[in-house]
Amino acid sequence: MNIAQVDYDGLIPNNVGLGQDPRVKRALEKWHPGYIDWWKEMGPEGFQESLVYLRTAVSVDPKGWAKFDYVRMPEYRWGVLLAPQHEGRKIPFGVHKGEDAWQEVPGEYRAMLRRLIVIQGDTEPASVEQQRHLGKTAPSLYDLRNLFQVNVEEGRHLWAMVYLLQKYFGADGREEAEALLQRRSGHADTPRMLGAFNEKTPDWLSFFMFTYFTDRDGKMQLEALAQSGFDPLSRTCRFMLTEEAHHMFVGETGVTRVVQRTCEAMKEAGITDPNNIEAVRKLGVIDLPTIQKKANMHFSLTLDLFGNEISTNAANAFHAGLKGRYREDRLKDDHQLEGATYPVLRLIDGKIQNADTPALSALNMRLRDDYVVDANIGVGRWNKVIAEHGIPFEIKLPHVAFHRHIGEFASIKADVNGNLLSEAEWEKRRGEFLPSDSDREFIEGLMQPQFEPAKFASWIAPPRVGIDNKPGDFEYVKIADA
Ligand code: BYC
């Protein structure tokens, strides 16, 4: 079959030849009703009968892989799509470097590989659960459609991981695939696996911050897994990254539009002091210091997703050839790192300082460092908008020691500049750094739906261009049951 084209004839669109693989086809068809039940129970609240202008992958050819059309979400064609196989691909790093990439699960690494796939898979439905109530307060039909696009694609990413479990891991893979539908974000007894995926996404500013910061962890982790010597995982992640780019676009432009509206409103009202919060809020926009606090919150929660700075799990996964570094294929070293070191920011004698550490153990830290560089790029764009309006304010990412629950700094308290604080100081100053109850109440009050085509809530600017080049008054969602 032509790998670039997707077979849409069966229940499960795919480019992996499911038609010739009856065992896996049956397993996925058996899993399908449970998935639809999960989507109806935990997917977007309301809007299931609405027609949403969604993109669906019809090919894995980067030049033209998606088509746009109106779809009811439960009828979205969730499929299994792998990027094309590279003939003769070798394992690019670790102890097996240079050997043929694995097309089957290497027995000795089975458990480690399954764990990585399950953790990746678990985050996908988790984010849909976290965002399920946002539809009813969408600031425009354009944003509503983007939310649902992100949601259906996270659903597809779950399918991507479930395919790997069903195809390559037999009975225990099937059990894990079932369990992915059973856990629930924030549930007391059966929570999702990673911390940030059990937090709330209470409002649309959080949604934009989440898609900017947390989906970017997704990008980094997928990039690292796309390097994997286990070829089906690599190919799956390569295609997921194509979709992931839109999610980060939604986040980056979402925050930009919030910042822009705030700056415009301040300028119109002649307010020059960004810290005159009360006056700014009266304009029906979100003040810049509160936007900073939201960024502090989502950035710090996302840093926890990189795991401990020093990690034998990460060292083992790299050594085995299962999970590489960010863009491993572009790095110029021996790709084995046995004798190498990497500077890790640690807490030594009560001070935060760099310490050279075996590079293999420091791989989580390295990925996190790459993430911080990447995350700063969009922040620069937000600041450009503020500067263009002549407002003396700069959004900054907080220090990596700030508000951490995993790793080196979980046991201490620090301010956004990395100065250590006592518990009492932290409690006293917490509201300076993170959204307070009154900040949350203010934002909640702004979250009124705007479902008229071409209209936007008071606190957000329209986008520069429409999705699929549609005009400004395009009806992205034909609401049936809001
Ligand atoms: N919360 O050795 P360590 C995405 C556990 S996002 C709770 O440092 P490791 C997306 C850890 O599991 C990307 N527990 O761990 C974004 C371990 O437990 P066990 C998702 C945590 O393995 C938006 C123990 O602590 N993909 O795609 O080096 C929307 C020791 O820790 C946490 C992946 O993450 C935490 N934050 O690093 C939708 C890729 N951190 O096993 C989707 C796959 C650590 O001792 N996952 N622990 O019981 C991995 O590569 C790694 O598992 C981690 C953790 C990077 C997450």
20 CB-side CA count, 13 A: 5
Two structure tokens written together for 392: 């003396």
Statement: the pTM of the whole predicted model exceeds 0.85: yes
To test the pocket of ligand 1, the residue of 214, 236, 305 to mutate (highest count of ligand atoms within 8 Å of its CB) is 305
**Does ligand 1 come within 6 angstroms of the Cβ of 197?**
no
pLDDT digits (tens, 9 = 90+) for 461-474: 999 999 999 999 99
**Does ligand 1 come within 6 angstroms of the Cβ of 305?**
yes
Question: Which residues does 282 contact at the CB level (< 8 Å), separation at least 6?
Answer: none
Residue of minimum CA distance from atom 15 in ligand 1 = 307
- d(C-alpha 301, C-alpha 198), whole Å: 11
Q: What is the pLDDT of residue 2?
A: 62
**Does ligand 1 come within 6 angstroms of the Cβ of 314?**
yes
Helix (H) or strand (E) holding 51: strand 51-57
Judge contact between 233 and 117, C-beta under 8 A. yes
Alpha helix (H) residue ranges in 270-349? 277-282, 288-303, 312-319
- Sequence-separated contacts (24+) of 219-222 with Cβ below 8 Å: 219/244, 219/245, 219/248, 219/374, 220/306, 220/326, 220/367, 220/370, 220/371, 220/374, 221/120, 221/305, 221/367, 222/120
Q: Please report, in tens digits, the pLDDT of each residue of the chain (482 residues total).
A: 566 678 888 889 999 999 999 999 999 999 999 999 999 999 999 999 999 999 998 887 877 788 999 999 999 999 999 999 999 999 999 999 999 999 999 999 999 999 999 999 999 999 999 999 999 999 999 999 999 999 999 999 999 999 999 999 999 999 999 999 999 999 999 999 999 999 999 999 999 999 999 999 999 999 999 999 999 999 999 999 998 999 999 999 999 999 999 999 999 999 999 999 999 999 999 999 999 999 999 999 999 999 999 999 999 999 999 999 999 999 999 999 999 999 999 999 889 999 999 999 999 999 999 999 999 999 999 999 999 999 999 999 999 999 999 999 999 999 999 999 999 999 999 999 999 999 999 999 999 999 999 999 999 999 999 999 999 999 999 999 54
Judge contact between 461 and 264, C-beta under 8 A. yes
Alpha-carbon torsion 165, 167, 173, 179, what sign? positive
To test the pocket of ligand 1, the residue of 122, 308, 322, 408 to mutate (highest count of ligand atoms within 8 Å of its CB) is 308
Among the listed residues 410, 412, 438, 139, the one whose alpha carbon sits nearest the alpha carbon of residue 293: 438
Alpha-carbon torsion 166, 168, 172, 177, what sign? negative
Q: Pairing relation of β-strands 51-57 and 477-478? A: antiparallel
pLDDT digits (tens, 9 = 90+) for 178-212: 999 999 999 999 999 999 999 999 999 999 999 99
Two structure tokens written together for 136: 């009813």
Q: What is the pLDDT of residue 62?
A: 75
Ligand 1 centroid, distance to 237 Cα (angstroms): 17
Show the beta-strand stretches assigned E in 60-207.
66-72
Ligand 1 centroid, distance to 243 Cα (angstroms): 21
Judge contact between 102 and 91, C-beta under 8 A. yes
Give the CA radius of gyration of the chain: 23
To test the pocket of ligand 1, the residue of 116, 119, 146, 183 to mutate (highest count of ligand atoms within 8 Å of its CB) is 119
Phi, psi of 477 (to 5 degrees): -130, 125
Ligand 1 centroid, distance to 231 Cα (angstroms): 21
**Does ligand 1 come within 6 angstroms of the Cβ of 217?**
yes
Ligand 1 centroid, distance to 307 Cα (angstroms): 5
Question: Which residues does 457 contact at the CB level (< 8 Å), separation at least 6?
Answer: 139, 140, 446, 447, 448, 449, 450
